[in-house]
A and B are shown apart, each in its own frame.
Chain A
Amino acid sequence: MAGLGVARAVGFVAPALLLVGVFLVFPALWTLYIGVTDYQLTGPAAAAPSAVGLDNFAAVLDDALFTNSLWLTALFVLGSAVVGQNALGFALAWLLRRVRPWLRRTTEGLVLLAWILPGPVVAYLWFAVLSRDGGTLGLLLDDPTTAWLVQYPMVSLVVFNVWRGTAFSMLLYTSALAAVPPSQLETARLVGANGWQAVRDVVFPHIRGHVLTNTLLISLWTANDFTPFLLTAGGPNHESEVLPVLIYRQALEGGRLGYASAMSSLLLVGNLVVALVYLRLLRRRA
């Protein structure tokens, strides 16, 4: 078709596949391997790591820090992505259908700002907003003594991540809603359905695929997000130590490379399981 034979087509795809294989898939497999060794950053095990089988994995599963982190990550993903970004993104997309085009574009642009700014920049801004004695939030609430990031670290992270990531859901739902036939919404209105009923019975069946895809993507991005490190560095006392932060600290601050890799492997497997569940759900629709 269009003069593109099989050989040529393979030739077109191969370089991209090769690079992705070498720099993304191979490191992931290597991580699985390091996870079964006692590799350390320093000391005798740094020069000659030896295989320790599944010891690391057993130790990780038994580690209170890991269990704590797993729970925090689940909370982070559920609170900020599955519920927060999803709901706010949909609500914004739904409301913005009715405003004037220029206002809609402006709002979209401003919400998008939060999504595209570099991590250190947004982390710094939130630090300024949430810090004690002079943080803007403290001033607004007339309560300058609350150190939000210290006293309510997880709540702060969830609110932060909703602010940061809602843009993606909003944009995705905006284009999904554009595909819902207006006549069906009109019919729903005529038979006396209220806003919620219209969304549930008319809109949702049309955008089910979008909802699933969006939820999958934002969940995985949130679960793998490293920005919390810049805001709270996992503290105080591990209270906001989500998995990527825990892994980073174990590897670079603790020097326990094998142990950290075992944690990475578990995170990797967790991601794959979520993705497979999603694929099954999506297939069921088709």
Chain B
Amino acid sequence: MRRLVGVVAWFSAILFFAPVAWMVLTSLHSEPDAATNPPSLGAGLTLQGYEEFFGASTGQSPWPPLINSFSASIGSTIIVLLLAIPAAYALSIKKVEKWTDVMFFFLSTKMLPVVAGLLPIYLVAQFTGMLDNISFLVILYTSMNLPIAVWLMRSFLAEVPPEILEAASIDGAGLITTLRRVVAPIAMPGIAATALICFIFSWNELLFARVLTGVVAGTAPVFLTGFVTSQGLFLAKVCAAATVVSLPVLIAGFAAQDKLVQGLSLGAVK
């Protein structure tokens, strides 16, 4: 029985992984090898696809959209943390009825269909002259990730035992000292995980980036969508592009795997 379960585990792992494995393998093949069907597993590996993606022969650099994505994701994640940590702290130590309403308000905004906000937000961007401007995406992603960040962070902060907070208060520790010396060490892994989740969500956002940006502020997913359309015949090149665009979230995802599990499930239930 145990063996059977192991086989099922392997099988599902492979099934989920297969498309990604194909992508990485194809990205490392030369174009003629990539085009063969079935995929030539044993073909020699080369970085040609990546060189082509980074503009070896066309001179077109994918760096501007990649840098835009980094700015939007990292910028918004930092602001999210600055706003969400105090909010989550206040919400986690106040056990008052009204505060659950505030929590529910945060949560409910996560249920709004993104497409419903598209038009008004476009109009706001147009009116303020912020179309095709990466700062606007930073603010937008910050607001979109705030609810989930507050929600996750509160569940991590709720793990700080109230007795310790009281003890700190009796010993005469002020708010800043309490936050820095007592709360932060316990909550730090959770905060890091929340940051990584926000980074992943911002990096992957496509709908708003597609509508609100153009030549200047286009992000990596928007760039990739265009790249697939224009270069679709060059499998190795497109797979290299897809791999590069995926790399940041893969790294963030693996760094956060355990805490991601804990955070999402705690946040979902408590």
Contact = CB atoms under 8 A, between A and B. Distances in A.
B264 A12 contact: no
Contacts of A124: 224, 228, 238, 242
B126 interface: no
A34 B121 CA distance: 12
A10 B94 CA distance: 11
B175 A3 contact: yes
A188 B80 CA distance: 46
Interface residues on A, range: 35 or more
A25, A124, A168, A247 — most chain B CB neighbours (10 Å): A124
B37 interface: yes
A264 B112 CA distance: 10
Given A104-B9, A108-B261, A118-B203, A271 B221 contact: no
B28 interface: no
A13 B6 contact: no
Nearest to A171: B261
Interface stretch (A53-61, A79-87, A94-102, A145-153): A94-102
Given A110-B16, A113-B16, A113-B250, A4 B143 contact: no
B178 A2 contact: yes
B79 to A, nearest CB: 9
Given A16-B84, A116-B200, A120-B228, A28 B112 contact: yes
B116 A128 contact: no
A106 B6 CA distance: 12
B48 to A, nearest CB: 19
Contact of A271 (B17, B111, B242): B111
A15 B83 contact: yes
Contact of B112 (A24, A106, A117): A24
A31 B16 contact: no
Interface residues on B, range: 35 or more
Interface string B88-107: 01110110000000100110
A114 B8 CA distance: 18
Interface string A134-148: 101001000000000
Given A19-B142, A95-B8, A134-B37, A31 B257 contact: no
B153 to A, nearest CB: 10
B62 interface: no
Nearest to B8: A95
Contact of A110 (B17, B108, B168): B17
A240 interface: no
A104 B265 CA distance: 17
Given A112-B253, A116-B250, A118-B206, A171 B265 contact: yes
A19 B143 contact: yes
B149 to A, nearest CB: 9
A167 to B, nearest CB: 8
A224 B113 contact: yes
B28 to A, nearest CB: 16
A135 B257 CA distance: 31
A118 B228 CA distance: 14
Contact of A260 (B119, B165, B253): B119
B224 A120 contact: yes
B19 A3 contact: no
B265 A251 contact: no
Contact of A20 (B123, B146, B168, B173): B146
A115 to B, nearest CB: 8
Contact of A103 (B6, B108, B123): B6
A66 interface: no
Nearest to A275: B111
Given A27-B120, A98-B2, A120-B245, A13 B102 contact: yes
A162 to B, nearest CB: 10
A267 B116 contact: yes
Interface string B110-139: 011111111111011000000000000001
Interface in A18-74: 19-20, 22-28, 30-31, 34
23 contacts: A2-B168, A4-B90, A12-B90, A13-B87, A16-B150, A19-B142, A23-B121, A27-B121, A28-B116, A118-B206, A118-B245, A119-B204, A124-B242, A134-B37, A172-B265, A175-B265, A176-B265, A223-B113, A226-B206, A248-B207, A251-B118, A252-B211, A265-B116
Given A112-B260, A122-B19, A271-B113, 12 more contacts: A3-B175, A20-B147, A27-B121, A30-B119, A96-B9, A111-B16, A116-B252, A118-B246, A121-B23, A121-B245, A124-B238, A171-B265
